[in-house]
Chain A
């Protein structure tokens, strides 16, 4: 590990946080939309 390690950790953390946040937001919204669609079509 050299003096650039904090930049590396920041980059990987940012990538994981961005992709995980978007994925969770999308999957939750999709689950809600499926639920609403199934109740309104009944």
Chain B
């Protein structure tokens, strides 16, 4: 199987990685030192410049996994590369979800007075994290690449059901976690400060660039590993065939003797 991946072009990848690195560094500097202190939350709100982009990126990563799973499941578009993309994106989604939960917990301690609450948003997000952790475990189970791709595609698509539940949990159940505040016109509090808006956008852009860069690298690694595993298997089969051919020739010699043919037949 030959796997040729040119999205984004190979020459653009180092620039993409460099841009992601610059973006993340700029977000850290802006979030820690440039944006003003919040009137209500003090410095704790600075954590939201990591928490919110991580949350958006987890949605994006799992959406890409679901889309790639659909493209694998549809016979007309079936290609093993969609399986690589689904796996790579899910892995990054799990990392961003874990980061979102951890940073959210660090924000919750001073603002809510608790590291964790069994709130609708937090609980559904924890379920999402474990669903995709299970998806990654499922990918490591045995079987041929096609079998793995098929069962992973079904699992990846099924797990995505939780994403809209996570997103709308704040409006459906209205528990502790606040409603979305960036695009929500009904919210009483809006981010009005330009540097705050820019830092949030920068965080989202930087994390998106990092996601695209790491996802392409992960897809390439999966393709290379699968290619190597396939070559190793092919070499092992060829060696086995060659060895059995050699022993088969040696063991067939005595059967030419009529006195031993009955014993050979019983032995077989």
Which residue of chain B has its CB nearest to the CB of A22? B95
Given contacts A7-B106, A16-B28, contact A29 B44 (CB under 8 A): no
Q: How far is the CA of A26 from the CA of B224 in the complex (A)?
A: 13
Q: Which residues does chain A contribute within 8 Å of B109, judged by CB atoms?
A: 7
CB-contact partner of B217 in A1, A2, A12, A27, under 8 A = A27
Chain A interface size band reads 20 to 34
Q: How far is the CA of A36 from the CA of B214 in the complex (A)?
A: 21
CB-contact partner of B225 in A12, A19, A33, under 8 A = A33
Interface string of B43-56 (1 = CB under 8 A from A): 11011001100100
* Contact (Cβ within 8 A) B106 A10: yes
Given contacts A18-B99, A22-B214, contact A12 B24 (CB under 8 A): no
Residues 1-33 of A contacting B (Cβ, < 8 Å) = 1-5, 7-8, 10-12, 14-16, 18-19, 22-23, 26-27, 29-30, 33
Residues 177-224 of B contacting A (Cβ, < 8 Å) = 210, 214, 217-218, 220-221, 224
B110 interfacial by beta-carbon distance below 8 Å: yes
Can you list 12 A-B contacts (CB < 8 A)?
A4-B41, A4-B42, A8-B47, A11-B103, A14-B103, A19-B95, A26-B217, A30-B221, A30-B224, A33-B225, A36-B228, A37-B228
* Contact (Cβ within 8 A) B220 A30: yes
Extra inter-chain contacts (8) besides given A8-B46, A19-B95, CB under 8 Å:
A2-B37, A2-B42, A7-B110, A8-B44, A18-B95, A23-B210, A29-B221, A37-B227
* Contact (Cβ within 8 A) A19 B47: no
Residues 7-60 of B contacting A (Cβ, < 8 Å) = 24, 28, 31-32, 37, 41-44, 46-47, 50-51, 54
In the complex, number of A-B residue pairs with CB atoms less than 8 Å apart: 82
Q: How far is the CA of A41 from the CA of B24 in the complex (A)?
A: 38
* Contact (Cβ within 8 A) A33 B228: yes
Chain A residues at the B interface, C-beta cutoff of 8 Å: 1-5, 7-8, 10-12, 14-16, 18-19, 22-23, 26-27, 29-30, 33-34, 36-37, 40-41
Q: Which residues does chain A contribute within 8 Å of B102, judged by CB atoms?
A: 11, 14
**Shortest distance between the CB of A23 and any CB in chain B (Å):** 6
Q: Which residues does chain B contribute within 8 Å of A26, judged by CB atoms?
A: 214, 217-218, 221
Q: Which residues does chain B contribute within 8 Å of A11, judged by CB atoms?
A: 46-47, 50-51, 102-103, 106-107
CB-contact partner of B214 in A1, A8, A23, under 8 A = A23
Rank and list the top 4 A-B pairs by shortest CB-CB distance, nearest first: A4-B44, A33-B224, A2-B42, A11-B106
Q: How far is the CA of A34 from the CA of B32 in the complex (A)?
A: 38
**Shortest distance between the CB of B132 and any CB in chain A (Å):** 15
* Contact (Cβ within 8 A) B47 A40: no
